[in-house]
Structure 1
Amino acid sequence: MSAAVASDVEQVGVAQVRDRADVHRQVKLVVVFAIVAVLLLWFALDIKDPTVKYITGERVTADDLGTEINGLRIVWICFALAVLALGAAAANRVRRGIVGTLVSMVVGIAFFVGFIVWSYADQTTLVIANPLPGTVKLATPLVFGALAGCLCERAGVINIAIEGQFLTGAFLASVFSSAFYSAEMGLVGGILAGVAIAALLAVFAMRYHVNQVVLGVVLIALATGLTSFLLSQIPDDPSIKQYLNDPLILAPIAIPGLADIPVIGPTLFNQTLLSYLMYASVVVVTVLLFQTKWGLRVRSVGEHPMAADTVGIKVNRIRWQAVLLGGVFAGLGGAWFTVGSTGSFDQDASAGNGFIALAAVIMGRWHPVWASLSAVFFGFMWTLQSQLAFLGKIPPELLRASPYLATIIAVAGFVGRVRPPAADGEPYVKS
């Protein structure tokens, strides 16, 4: 009898013990959900005219002048969802895993929907445009950069130089496209530039064992100075400039049938070749890393290179392969800044997007799918600030800073504690 009582007491004691990290996670969820609920309540109370208009495309057309909806009702629904999620989090019902992720996504979507409706409310002449096509477009280089970062760091090489790969990729893409009169040849130029910077990263990191963080910063400085110098050497004479910095731009390709699907069609299936390559790249990198023997070797040299060496894996050879393959994707991301969007190359064309791609790698926990979704989130923030900049409800300076603020918040606290590959940044010397 006493043994049974002791067993029951022991079970009760075990049941009462909670992991400290789980408690911190619950507190963080409660705080975040409470802030969202308070903001949504304020949005609802601040709206005077409940009627807003929206269109399914990116801009008003003769065929789509906008559909009226009750914006106030939508904000109240979003508030109710946030309150329900807050109650569930306070009761510790939002568990880790798929359920917790879905609840967090619902609260995030509810906040953004309520925020957008509030921003456009009481603006009688403005219509809510679909931000998703612009999100995919702006997220394309970030996804390519995030994939490059995942490949390199899964193999144990820190790639701070994504920004430098973007810059050189953008410049050489412009030159190749101008010289060969082909936007697609610009992609080839971008790949060559990205691989070239990746080769420099691999040589100094693995052969000369240079500190990889410092090396990445130096490579960015090299790319910035080199592209600025080469750009200054291109004459302004249009007859010469057209062969060096007047590239063709990739045109959107609408997939018949799929592009006509409301909302999703224009978002996913009316994009440029680069965006379709992005979709395929996420799948390819995920399969390579987690479903192939080569991917197992990449992850092993990033976690425990000495153990990998003892079973016959050529550690530095695998790292070289991963870094160079990452250079291919980073070069494609760089090509977006010229042949994928603006055309001619300008100084500092990548505008710090390489660092945001690196943040997406950390936020995505070095997994290609989650890193890509993080990149899409940052692309959405860019699209949102560009659409809301002219509304006047929020200071434009704050809107311009919002993508960077979202990056800092996401990396610093929202994703929680993250652990990089154990041998990330550590050169391997065969004993």
Structure 2
Amino acid sequence: MSNPTTPENPWPVRTVARMIADWINRLGSVWVEGQVTQISARPGTGTAFLTLRDPAADLSISVTCPAEVLRAQVPPLADGARVVLHAKPAYYFNRGTLSLRADEIRAVGVGELLARIERLRRLLAAEGLFDPARKRRPPFLPRTVGLITGRASAAEHDVLVNARARWPAVRFRIENVAVQGALSVPQIVDALSTLDKDGLVDVIVIARGGGSVEDLLPFSDETLCRAVAACRTPVVSAIGHEQDTPLLDHVADVRCSTPTDAGKRIVPDVTEETLRVRQLRDRARRALHGWVDRERRLLESLRSRPVLADPLGPLDRRAEQIATLVGRARRAVRNHVSAERAALDATNARLTTLGPAATLARGYAVVQRVDPAGNSGVLRSIAEAPAGTRLRVRVMDGAVHAVVSGADPPASGGGSGET
């Protein structure tokens, strides 16, 4: 690498391959876990070949190992078996390929698989993926049901037959995938993404029949569980039998014990719904008839009331009462006016009797002194009228003027003056 390459001074392929091989050969050994496929161990050969796949991704790498290492496995390894192997990366110079050279292979037992599933279950539960609050209820009658299952499998048959028996018009969009082995998880995740993007799919069913722990292992895969949790469409899990509980059952929105149960739960029963509609129609009819009868009785009761039977009668009676009250009021006013007029006449008579005019009419007169300035005052004593005093004498029908010429002293019976 100390000599950089240029278009004028390129490296040959052998140099690049040798440098890559030298760099890879410096790498140490590693423990690798995966699923084995394409196992090849020909009799009479000292080297066995196999492919190690990642169970959660579409990725694989070639592995070589001594044939005796492969033959020592009890039971013999089969395609899809989960293994842990100790290997060193190796670069084959002539072919330009990378592989792993294994010197030890250990099969992952059921106990180890269950322990790993349990650790993953605790992890996903701690993250809230099993929380019932995040689970969604599938629609009552989905427009289209997405079904992810094996091609021509018993699970597919059970879901279709039972769903169509309950609701014959149900529509399915079926995605056939591998339901076990190394390809199952990538294919199921891709099918799930495809159905989730379909706007007509209202619910997705993932169905598979029963099997061993190894067969059902893809349905406890972390990648699949997280994909189901992120799915916007409600997901129904129908894996295995009642006793089978992969992690998918905990993450899915609805868990069905079997594919048959899933076919019964994703759609309503047309017979039951028809009966329910008929019952609701009968209840609505009875309720409507009862309401109409009740309102009719109320109208008849209102019509039989006097105010509606004879609407003008109360008005006539009220008019008569008003006329009677008006007559009484008029009589009361007249009587009051008459009484007040009589009282006024009596008072006027008393005032007339007590007034000076009545006294003058009986022959009396009012004598007043008149001074040169024209001022007058009532004469009360002869001492106030010396001789020559001008007087004004007021009688009933007018007044006369006089001049005092003298005065007479008062007598015992009264006094009189001379003018």
TM-score (norm 1): 0.18
Q: Which has the higher strand share?
A: 2
TM-score (norm 2): 0.18
If you compute each CA radius of gyration, which structure gives the higher value, 1 or 2?
Answer: 2
